[in-house]
Amino acid sequence: MTTPRDMSALAESAAAAADRALEDLTALVAIESISADPARAEVVQRSAETVASLITGLGCPDVTIVTEGGKPAVIARFPAPQGAPTVCLYAHHDVQPTGDEALWTTSPFTATVRGDRMYGRGVADDKGGFCVHLAALRALLEQGPLPVGVTLFIEGEEEIGSPSLGTIISRHADELASDVFVIADSGNWDVGVPSFTTTLRGLTDCVVEVRTLDHALHSGQYGGVAPDALTALCRLIATLHDELGNVAVEGLVTAEAPDLVYPDDRLRDESGVLDGVSYLGEGSIVSRLWTKPALSVLAIDCTPIAKASNTLAPSARAKLSLRLAPGDDHERALDRLTEHLTSHAPYGAQVIVTRGDGGQPSEIPFTGPIADVARTAFRDAFGVEPVTIGQGGSIPMAAEFADRFPNATILVTAVCDPDSRMHGIDESLYLPDFAKAVHAEASFLAGLSGAGGLR
């Protein structure tokens, strides 16, 4: 049994550790760890090495970089004191591409503070999440040995769908086995309002190709008789939604939504939907964002306008992204989407569907003694009661952890807020909430001291 923490002193240590961690975050942002870019493979490796070095600097006795056919992840372990539980702290060190860097107010790989926010790619998603873990552990170590066992699992390919995550968990199950998993990779309900995510949509995608001709044709000579592939593709895509914008693919799951009101003015401001443009679908806003399927066209391959001529295209392709409601299955859902695409081919066009990757949706209970410790810690740190929410995005490891470690408690926490613009231009981290998240996590770990029997 470890010595109980002085919670007042812990709060002071957490504040100092949060300030120091912003220096580490600045250094991490400068590493362009875009996992989707093969040319940056060595940079992603350097990012993993930097993460490992920072953890080693805590005095961690067991730090390893693992690569199981994918991008490098870091697994680090502090042994549990006698009678104390083990907590796995998850984050990822890879980031999304920047988009057009000219649209950023400042360089995306130079962390810049303006007002109460730090801007840069990865400050919120999810290098900021890793730095919360780093700072919370530093705050606790200021007072002595850690009160619980801690495993850090910092992944390097979350932004490309975690293709080797299952292999890592399978091959390193003994190292990762924990009583509690804290996934710091979600979003808070609002600035100053801490949230625990209890539902996550799943994800699957595909590329659909439409073929109508065996070669390109003169649009004047054959137009009006020969169907061009791009028009056929557009008509096929149009069948994916009804006239109100609801997904029209049969057989997809819809789950029950929480009773939360998402004000229209807030949604329009946060999303940037233009005045006069209506929203898609029916039902409450949170149901459409969190517990109903969503189907989007991400990209189209055909002749670009700059190279256009009076020619009928023989083939055209589109990449489709399908978000799945909790309770659905990504393989089954992709089957339903494939069936829809092939059965709605316009003009008898040939339709070829190439299946992509997928991640399962999750339902994550926030109940029991461990959740109660977390609720208290976050309420005390933020000064308001936490909210349980859903997320429209996908966090594949939540389902992976639940499947592999069914007796563990999973908590999905956040450093992002509705203004963070993760994945977008001018991604940012709200600094006051970052400091509160550090305090909350340190208090949570301290609160679990000696609580090996909690369930």
Query: pTM to 2 decimals?
Result: 0.88
Q: Is 284 exposed, middle or buried (0-12, 13-18, 19+ CB in 10 A)?
A: middle
Question: What is the dihedral sign for C-alpha 103, 105, 107, 112?
Answer: negative
Strand order in the sheet with 362-363: 362-363, 195-200, 387-391
How far is it, in rounded angstroms, from Cα 191 to Cα 75?
31
The owner of tokens 């360089």 is: 107
Contact 326, 254 (CB under 8 A): no
**Strand partners of residue 241:** 247
Going along the chain from its start, the domains and CATH numbers come out as: 7-200+361-447 (3.40.630.10), 202-255+292-359 (3.30.70.360)
Q: What is the pLDDT along the chain (455 residues), one digit of tens a residue?
A: 445 567 789 999 999 999 999 999 999 999 999 999 999 999 999 999 999 999 999 999 999 999 999 999 999 999 999 989 999 999 999 999 999 999 999 999 999 999 999 999 999 999 999 999 999 999 999 999 999 999 999 999 999 988 899 999 999 999 999 999 999 999 999 999 999 999 999 999 999 999 999 999 999 999 999 999 999 999 999 999 999 999 999 999 999 988 889 999 899 988 889 999 999 999 999 999 999 999 999 999 999 999 999 999 999 999 999 999 999 999 999 999 999 999 999 999 999 999 998 888 989 999 999 999 999 999 999 999 999 999 888 787 888 899 999 999 999 999 999 999 999 999 999 999 999 999 999 999 999 985 545 54
